[in-house]
Structure 1
């Protein structure tokens, strides 16, 4: 990525130049699947980008839901972010320890709450550290900042809306999971879920959008990947995955491309795969 856009993606160069900006807030949004055997909070405590706060995706979620890390209420989002010293007028940059994985989910949550001055650090902590940029293990100084949000309902879809879109074919439903999980060849990591995908959906594995260093591919390459997967970029899109995390990588890529008409299916396969009355497709189509 040659140019930084503080509403989608910023480079490590851009972030280091802006580290001392008074209205910059950096968030570590790391989240790992159990098989990664990594402790996101412990890694943050050991080393983080100077001034970064830890954004706990599992905590800043709707804990009343049976689904994993569903979007929180606006009230909870405001409460947690104010406690972290993040509020109105701040430029937010989110990174994670995988490169570009869960940080996109945090970006999407901010967008859902009507906050647009938020970007993901391209390449994340691995690229930052590989370039020998500064880190620290100090807790940041927190000053309370007022925050107002306005939830953007068009950016999220529930199971009823996705079922309608699947039946009508009026949206492109794009699945970020691996090809094996999409086809139904690989078992689901969560117990009790059926294998396969939402009928009519297209498969764009989130990793296919990334370079070897964890940065996002350029716009031309992204457009080609979506098109080859059968995605009509002139249609509105719904992104989905296993639990609503890597779907946000697709949403970030679409936004970076200039495709503004996209929403995320928050329940994703953790919800769809659980209900026997919802149809499941297998194979490549």
Structure 2
């Protein structure tokens, strides 16, 4: 099967393959769905919505509203400030998403700015031992960037992403401004979760072969460097992708407001894209927000060593002209894995038992 032969079926998976452990456990743990809990026949209630976004199977990080266990967890709202002020989960704090993209320049390339990330979490009262629940309008990349930043800082408490986002929350809500408490965030950085520009340059020619798996999460048009495409970033001096990278658009991780079907995601990445679940996998995008969606999805599915190129294609494509030989870009050798998905969803809030 070639990387372009993505399938929605698990029937072609090799049951003896080590990388299929997650898919087998997902299949074994997935049920036929929870029974409706409507208060009146024929009416879809908020409780039904909460049950429908419960995460089934052997999946880490993601949980529906009915699956949250920590009563004293800190809720972080990754939506915009305007949405947060209008209505939010009661007691939630506004996640400092923009500050969590901060980077530091090293001799090897850009990496996350540890001091800036730690300061941003401390400013909203998050301490390293706190259990944290992150939510947004969906499970999009703003939410996953928050989760990644916590993991990178060596967060010791549980980190959970609310599947279904705010629209499927059935608990208490609040409105207006709120000044959060502050905390001292003392990081224990996990440097193994990121790679640098030079780390990648030393392995060019080995990706998705003898070396690490490498996933470009941008749209196929950006990956291919399609001339005239609106997907091309004008700020990039070169277009295309890192040699050997396979393209799987990050939108494929999201189905409206929820994580896409875990069985299909496992097939997409470990079968169609032929990534080694037990090997090193590096993900990158234009910047350092969108690829965290794929980073978290792969970790949630049980991939053991997933790393983020925080500098992204923006750094790689814009090295000085004299250094381009060390950091090549290609468009001719291409592997695009079709990934269907959409971020968002309808806002249907009409619940009534009065007919």
TM-score by length of 2: 0.67
What CA distance in whole angstroms lies between the structure 2 residues aligned with 1:240 and 1:156? 10
Structure 1 residue 2: deviation in Å? Answer: 1.8
Query: CA offsets per residue over residues 90-130 of structure 1, 9 Å max, x none?
Result: 111112234422111111111111115212112323444xx
Among 181, 197, 200, the alignment partner of 2:222 is 181
> Does the CA contact (< 8 Å) of 1:27 and 1:95 recur in 2?
yes
What CA distance in whole angstroms lies between the structure 1 residues aligned with 2:168 and 2:219? 24
* 1:126–1:255 Cα change, 3 Å: same
Highest CA radius of gyration, 1 or 2?
2
Structure 1 residue 165: deviation in Å? Answer: 2.7
Is 1:11 paired with 2:64? Answer: yes
What CA distance in whole angstroms lies between the structure 2 residues aligned with 1:2 and 1:77? 32
Among 260, 267, 283, the alignment partner of 2:311 is 267
* 1:97–1:113 Cα change, 3 Å: same
Gaps of 5+ in 1: 31-39
Q: Which SS does the other structure have where 1:220 is aligned?
A: helix
What CA distance in whole angstroms lies between the structure 2 residues aligned with 1:126 and 1:166? 43
* 1:139–1:4 Cα change, 3 Å: farther
Is 1:118 paired with 2:159? Answer: yes
Q: Which SS does the other structure have where 1:166 is aligned?
A: coil
Structure 1 residue 135: deviation in Å? Answer: 3.0
TM-score by length of 1: 0.82
Q: Which SS does the other structure have where 1:249 is aligned?
A: helix
What CA distance in whole angstroms lies between the structure 1 residues aligned with 2:300 and 2:186? 25
> Does the CA contact (< 8 Å) of 1:196 and 1:282 recur in 2?
yes
Show the counterpart of 1:36: none
Q: Which SS does the other structure have where 1:59 is aligned?
A: helix
What CA distance in whole angstroms lies between the structure 2 residues aligned with 1:251 and 1:64? 20
Show the counterpart of 1:255: 299
* 1:258–1:142 Cα change, 3 Å: same
Gaps of 5+ in 2: 1-54, 336-355
Q: How many residues align?
A: 263
Q: List aligned pairs for 1:147-226, cutoff 5 A.
A: 147-169=185-207, 170-185=211-226, 186=229, 187-211=231-255, 213-226=256-269
Among 74, 86, 90, the alignment partner of 1:46 is 86
* 1:10–1:189 Cα change, 3 Å: same
Query: CA offsets per residue over residues 15-42 of structure 1, 9 Å max, x none?
Result: 4x75xx23x1111224xxxxxxxxx222
Q: List aligned pairs for 1:49-64, cutoff 5 A.
A: 49-62=89-102
Q: List aligned pairs for 1:19-34, cutoff 5 A.
A: 21-22=71-72, 24-30=73-79
Show the counterpart of 1:89: 129
Q: List aligned pairs for 1:227-242, cutoff 5 A.
A: 227-242=271-286
What CA distance in whole angstroms lies between the structure 2 residues aligned with 1:28 and 1:9? 15
